[in-house]
């Protein structure tokens, strides 16, 4: 879990820091280039533009729901903890934190890939297939950015409040 100062647990192991926005932007930019290049290469080799998978938005919405659910659990059990409420197990907290960090990076990569593909499809919007594919790519990229936001929120909710003493009424998480 991430401590109040952004550093990981005080005992043993390498501290886990928060996801840096610069990292997410770098992943997004690289994947925009890869998405555009991928569509162009497939079009050159196959002689036709590839279809855009229509199942991607469904998977992204599911991932947003999972991340939001995890964020609500962590908010209730860590940020709004009161005596008598169940505490978060360290295993659950670490698993949710790792899920959040991985989802933020994956969301940035997927958003970049779909933005690159949208740029490639947008070369000739007069063709109905290209216009529809461009909109599907832009919609999927927007949902992937929602995944990034949900993942960063879950990551934030995994932060433990500062603990003043062993018996100050807050959950012992670290």
Q: Walk along the chain (174 residues) in steps of 10 and give the mean pLDDT of each run.
A: 51 72 96 95 88 88 95 81 74 88 96 95 86 93 97 87 51 46
pTM: predicted TM-score of the whole model, two decimal places: 0.80
Residue 125 lies in a domain: yes
Residue 14 lies in a domain: no
* pLDDT confidence of residue 125: 85
Residue 5 lies in a domain: no
The structural domain count of the chain equals 1
Residue 170 lies in a domain: no
Range of the domain at 121: 22-157
Residue 169 lies in a domain: no
* pLDDT confidence of residue 158: 83
Residue 4 lies in a domain: no
Long-range CB contact pairs, 51-60, < 8 A, 24+:
51/133, 52/117, 52/121, 52/133, 52/136, 52/137, 52/140, 54/136, 56/110, 56/114, 56/140, 56/143, 57/136, 57/139, 57/140, 57/143, 60/107, 60/110, 60/140, 60/143, 60/144, 60/146, 60/147
Residue 28 lies in a domain: yes
* pLDDT confidence of residue 161: 62
């Amino acid at each position: 879990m991430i401590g109040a100062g952004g550093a990981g647990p005080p005992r043993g192991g390498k501290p886990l820091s928060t996801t840096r926005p610069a990292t997410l932007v770098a992943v997004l930019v690289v994947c925009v280039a890869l998405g555009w290049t991928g569509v162009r290469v497939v079009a050159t080799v196959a002689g036709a533009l590839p279809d855009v998978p229509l199942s991607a938005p469904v998977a992204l919405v599911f991932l947003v729901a999972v991340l939001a659910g995890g964020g609500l659990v962590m908010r209730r059990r860590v940020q709004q903890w009161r005596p008598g409420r169940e505490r978060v197990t360290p295993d659950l907290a670490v698993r949710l934190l790792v899920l959040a960090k991985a989802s933020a990076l994956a969301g940035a990569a997927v958003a970049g890939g779909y933005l690159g593909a949208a740029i490639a499809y947008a070369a000739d919007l007069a063709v109905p297939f290209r216009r529809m594919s461009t909109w599907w790519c832009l919609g999927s990229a927007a949902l992937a950015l929602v995944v990034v936001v949900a993942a960063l929120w879950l990551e934030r909710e995994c932060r433990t409040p500062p603990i003043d003493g062993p018996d100050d009424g807050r959950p012992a998480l670290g």
